[in-house]
Amino acid sequence: MTSNGSSQRLWARSHGLRAVLAVCFPIFFYAAAAIVGFFLIKIGLRGLGLGGRASMTVSVFCLLSGAAVLWGLLPRPVRFHEPGPLITPRAHPRLFRLLEDVSATMKVKMPDEVYLMPGVNAYVAQIGGLFGIGGRRVLVLGMPLLAVINISELRALVAHELGHYAGGETRLAGIIYQTRAAMARTTEKLLGGGIFFAYLPFEAMFQGYLAITGSISRQQELFADRWAVQLAGTEAQGSLLRHVELGQAAFSTYLQKEVAPLSVLRLAPANYFEGYRSYVGSPEYSHLLPVWESQSRERKRDRSDSHPPMAERILFAESLDLPPVAIDDAGARSLLNKSEDVELYFSRDLRPAGFRAVGWDRVGDAWEEMYRGLADRLQARIPELCVANVPAVLSDPELRERIAETTQPSLIGDRSPGRLPELERAVIQGLTAYLGCLLGTRGWRFRTAPGHPIRLERDGETLDLAVLLEEVASEEHGTKELVDALTRAGLDQNARWEVAEAERGEAHIRRRALVLSVKGGVAEITGLLSAVVWPRCCALCCGPPDHTFRIGFLDKHTNNGVRLDISVCEAHKVKGHRALELQMFDPETSRATLRLANLDYARLIEQVNS
């Protein structure tokens, strides 16, 4: 869409036509489904008068199927679960002044309620009412976004979200949501009942509706984007889109690499968002940004997608002929009163029960404690390891495997193409831990920050062991530079890590994060599903992982849903559903029992999670 009047009218006509289809389609669907439901009930009632066991069986089947179809058509109330704290103008006047200014400029009614949430996103919703009509307006803002975006980007974010109200889309969204849910329930009942003569056309209707409403949703996003550019400018909108799209990968990587390792010591950050801000300004973030952008471009698109690709939205913003808007680069979090207290509130909520809070200035000490445990395991499992033979380890394939799999058990059984570079990183990490702990006995201390490498410091001196080891491994430098650096730091060539006898025994014990049981050749694993690391090989044959297969489960006892992504090879790319079967799932604890088709894969899971 451009600012050209005829183009806008053409866009509006196209959007209006799709919106009419989105509203009329449900009428046809409900009518057709009601006819099928009543038809099945009518057949069932007639069959009851015929007598005979077969006739009675068919009649009961038709009556139950017809009733199930009609029951599936009834709209269900949508329960709104507060995603985080409700914030008010009294508590955060500066933020609400921005919201009021944007809504007044757009001539859109202010949201009735504003919430904060811990996700890298934002959204609006119409809560209550019927089919999106009536109810109250809700705006939800993600704290990780507020932690890193500036005020201009926040203005673009709010203008985009309120733009959905300006287009009346939240009312249409209510109709679309209820219709999609009814279609899903109806097709599920027809398929489950084996009524294929009705299932096939209804499934085609469902897929068609998903495509139509997906197209509408993508156009609505561009309509809302225009408001964002108009009120905040092209630059702010472009950088905001990157923060939202790439920020989801960035926040996930930050949690995985910077936060998750602390859980070994039952520690969690005192302030998750302070760490994320540091991560966004780090060398690792800059290094991974092109990778995430490439993944975003290459992600497979579907006609039912609700949002256009990020690149398309940025091009759209740049195509608009709108006056530039000055950038306010002050942090958006500055609009929150006592923003650090708000971040600490969310951090307490994110911190698992029983975990202690640790400040980012003390995380180096936590890594030192974790590395001492790794040094124990390395020395106990590789008794010959000492400073003198570290260079030899870097060139010995067998020793490298042992160090890598001790450092990172997920490499056990890994058949993925990316195993080699990951093995190299694990070797460097293991040797960094080993040598670093030895240097710790000479007064050196581990220091790090999110997205920055772990370094050692003593009396103002800094030693980057990982860089030295990488240079030797890649043959950029000979071993002399490494030996000289370690000698200057106080390590002699015969130094080795002292492991107490108790720790030596502990180092050989596998700490199983889950339990494997095998009965009659059938394998089951039980453990915390959220903590399971899946082997990087085919779940059905342990071959190379060529594809990712998403399996959806429904616990038969609790009706709780679970989704898992597993790896499969080319030969099993459409058979991934056979790999696992959910036996039990507790959503409160994430504890689950899974039955596995391949015993070797089950044993690999146990090893990888030990």
How far is 608 from 211, CA to CA, in rounded Å?
41
Higher pLDDT residue, 604 or 51?
Answer: 604
Q: pLDDT value at position 326?
A: 93
The secondary structure of 457-508 as a DSSP string is EETTEEE-HHHHHHHHHTTSS-HHHHHHHHHHTT--TT------HHHHHHHT
Measured CA to CA in angstroms, residue 530 lies from 353, 412, 548, 589 at distances of 15, 20, 18, 9
Q: pLDDT value at position 242?
A: 92
pLDDT digits (tens, 9 = 90+) for 413-436: 777 777 788 888 889 999 999 999
Return the biggest CA–CA distance within the chain.
98
Q: Check pLDDT > 70 for residue 457.
A: yes
Q: Check pLDDT > 50 for residue 562.
A: yes
Q: pLDDT value at position 356?
A: 93
pLDDT digits (tens, 9 = 90+) for 269-319: 999 999 999 999 999 999 999 988 888 887 767 666 777 888 889 999 999
How far is 94 from 460, CA to CA, in rounded Å?
42
Residue 52: which pLDDT band, with cuts at 50, 70 and 90? low
Helical (H) or strand (E) element with 548: strand 547-554
The structure tokens listed for 601 are 């894969």
Residue 539: which pLDDT band, with cuts at 50, 70 and 90? confident
Q: pLDDT value at position 415?
A: 77
Q: How many CB atoms lie within 10 A of CB 425?
A: 16
pLDDT digits (tens, 9 = 90+) for 2-51: 444 444 444 444 455 555 665 676 777 778 778 877 887 887 787 776 66
Q: pLDDT value at position 4?
A: 42
Q: Are 608 and 533 in contact (CB under 8 A)?
A: yes
Mean pLDDT to the nearest integer, 545-567: 66
Higher pLDDT residue, 361 or 2?
Answer: 361
- Print the SS3 string covering 113-155: EEEEECCCCEEEEEECCECCECCEEEEEEEHHHHHHCEHHHHH
> What's the whole-number average pLDDT of the chain?
82
pLDDT digits (tens, 9 = 90+) for 164-215: 877 555 455 556 656 766 777 777 766 666 666 667 777 777 777 777 777 7
Q: Check pLDDT > 60 for residue 559.
A: no
Q: pLDDT value at position 574?
A: 75
> Percentage of residues in the chain with pLDDT exceeding 70?
82
The structure tokens listed for 201 are 């056309």
Q: pLDDT value at position 558?
A: 45
CA 71 to the chain's CA centroid: 34
Within 13 A of 277's CA, how many CA atoms are on the CB side?
16
Residue type at 570 in one-letter notation: E
List all residues 6 or more positions away from 235 whose beta carbon is below 8 Å from its beta carbon: 152, 327
How far is 561 from 555, CA to CA, in rounded Å?
6
H-helix segments, 351-418 = 363-381, 390-393, 397-407
Higher pLDDT residue, 121 or 186?
Answer: 121
The residue with tokens 């890590």 is 497
Q: pLDDT value at position 455?
A: 92
- Print the SS3 string covering 34-53: HHHHHHHHHHHHHHHCCCCH
- Beta-strand ranges (E) seen in 271-331 are none
Q: pLDDT value at position 505?
A: 60
Q: pLDDT value at position 19?
A: 56
Q: pLDDT value at position 6?
A: 45
Name which of 228, 348, 249, 350 is nearest 299 in CA terms: 249
Q: Check pLDDT > 50 for residue 229.
A: yes
Higher pLDDT residue, 167 or 324?
Answer: 324
- Beta-strand ranges (E) seen in 253-371 are 267-269, 356-358
Question: Does this model's pTM top 0.95?
Answer: no
Domain boundaries, the chain: 86-175+230-348, 359-507, 514-608
Q: Are 437 and 368 in contact (CB under 8 A)?
A: yes
- Strand 136-142 and strand 122-127: pairing? antiparallel
Q: Are 85 and 95 in contact (CB under 8 A)?
A: no
How far is 9 from 232, CA to CA, in rounded Å?
24
> Percentage of residues in the chain with pLDDT exceeding 90?
33
Q: Are 180 and 210 in contact (CB under 8 A)?
A: yes
